[in-house]
């Protein structure tokens, strides 16, 4: 299942300038997804991070991965209309810079769910190189 930005916004509440995913390339509701973020020099955060060398903040890479995870969970029929909250992060590693012109590939696999909480393995890559990997935890508000 492929989703464009309008369809993504039907699932998660994020909006410009904080919507961090442009397209979902693959989606298995409740299980996994692959999304992309086209990184542009026009992204507002580059004005201050860093003016002399534009680097996408690591926290925003994590946010893009978390939003991809939210699409996975909130696309399930029983979770539609709810909000998924970022609840924790483990084993986070940043391995390369993400700069304007990069296409950030966001891969999320939900590994555990129990009631309204869950865990996902996440990885962000650029041209096949790992930029970030982590284990994210989430909670669903019903």
Active-site positions?
A: 49
**Which tokens sit at 76?**
């399930």
CA distance 40 to 38: 6
Question: CA separation (Å) from 4 to 25, 93, 102, 110?
Answer: 9, 29, 19, 21
Q: Which of 58, 54, 35, 59 is nearest to 43 (CA)?
A: 54
Helix or strand (DSSP H, E) at 74: helix 58-74
CA distance 65 to 131: 12
Asked whether the CA dihedral 96, 120, 21, 85 is positive or negative, the reply is negative
């Amino acid at each position: 299942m492929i989703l464009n930005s309008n369809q993504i916004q039907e699932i998660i509440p994020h909006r410009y300038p904080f919507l961090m995913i442009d397209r979902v390339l693959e989606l298995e509701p409740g299980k996994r997804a692959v999304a992309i973020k086209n990184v542009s020099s026009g992204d507002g955060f580059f004005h201050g991070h860093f003016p002399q060398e534009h680097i996408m903040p690591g926290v925003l890479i994590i946010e893009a991965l978390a939003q991809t995870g939210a699409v996975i969970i909130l696309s399930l029929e029983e979770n539609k209309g709810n909000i998924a909250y970022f609840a924790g992060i483990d084993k986070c590693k940043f391995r390369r810079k993400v700069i304007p012109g990069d296409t950030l590939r966001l891969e999320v696999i939900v590994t555990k769910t129990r009631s309204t909480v869950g865990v996902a393995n996440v990885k962000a890559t650029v041209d096949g190189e790992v930029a970030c990997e982590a284990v994210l935890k989430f909670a669903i508000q019903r």
